Amino acid sequence: MSTLLPGTQTSILYGGLTFGSIDDNGVMWRVQSGGFVGWGSPDSTIEVQPKPRQRGAWSGDAFSQERYLTVTLLLRAPSPALLNQALEQLSAAVDFAEQPMVVTEAGFTRTVYVRRKGGVEPNKINSWMAAPTFQVVADDPRKFWTPLVQSTGLPSSRGGLVIPAGGLVIPAGGLTIPAQVVSGQIEMFNPGNETGPVRLRVDGPISGPQISHVGSGLTLTFASSLVMGSGEWLDIDMEKHTVLANGQASRSKFITSRQWFGLEPGDNTFSFAAASGTTGQLTVTGIPASR
């Protein structure tokens, strides 16, 4: 288990290693000052064409490009053998497969999903110290925050009673027993400046579920012929546009309104309804995101 270095401003968890710590072998892994490049806002895809024979230019829509991150470390080991072992660990950790890089900095934590872009240069200083560097790329440039999870049932109202003042010995004005009300809505706040991913889970018994993002007016609707019994559920990935029954078989063919949505910056309201059923449940997992 690694021990964080005192006074560490930036620590990075990546590939099972913690940069900004001392590991069990006594090897110090430190992110060099200025050794974490690419953590700002990513480049834009905007293309600008000058207007002929007049001032200004034309440009189309702009989106964030992929994110390139370059990390330069300072390693100090108790022995030359442990330094070589640490460099081999680093080379294995910087993988070609996509994996999370979790960055903790000045009191907040963000996650990007990266793959190796170039080689891992050991840059040995002497037999006990090295300043290795490597580069990774995030196809999706967003920085993801801690996921938010909330659930609701279908809209319902149950119970409740108003007793007339003359019927019982009760306080003046009567006694009201409030009903149990389920709004069928979920409120969720994205403090970031990018639309984040949304995953849904719908639990039966229910038929023809419908989930709406109230602010945008977008709605994902399933046909009433989609019937789910007790213990059955749907896993819905709003970014990948996939719908799996019980985590396995696709149910995309039952979608009648294919309007996908995400967790937009600021306030979000998700509404839950169904063609029939009273006890279904919707669980929304939203991940705030920023540039």
Q: What is the pLDDT of residues 86-138, one digit of tens each?
A: 999 999 999 999 999 999 987 789 999 999 999 999 999 999 999 999 999 99
Q: Does the domain at residues 148-290 carry the CATH identifier 2.40.30.10? A: no
* Segments making up each domain of the chain, as ranges: 3-48+63-141, 148-290
pLDDT in tens, 233-284: 999 999 999 999 998 999 999 999 999 999 999 999 999 999 988 889 999 9
Pair 72, 8: CB distance under 8 Å? no
- At residue 130, the pLDDT reads 98
Q: What is the pTM of this model?
A: 0.83
pLDDT in tens, 159-216: 544 555 555 566 665 555 554 555 689 999 999 999 999 999 999 999 999 999 999 9
CA–CA gap between residue 129 and residue 122 (Å, rounded):
10
CA dihedral 20, 24, 28, 31 (to 10 degrees): -20
> Quick one: tokens of 261?
């949505």
CATH architecture of structural domain 3-48+63-141: Beta Barrel (2.40)
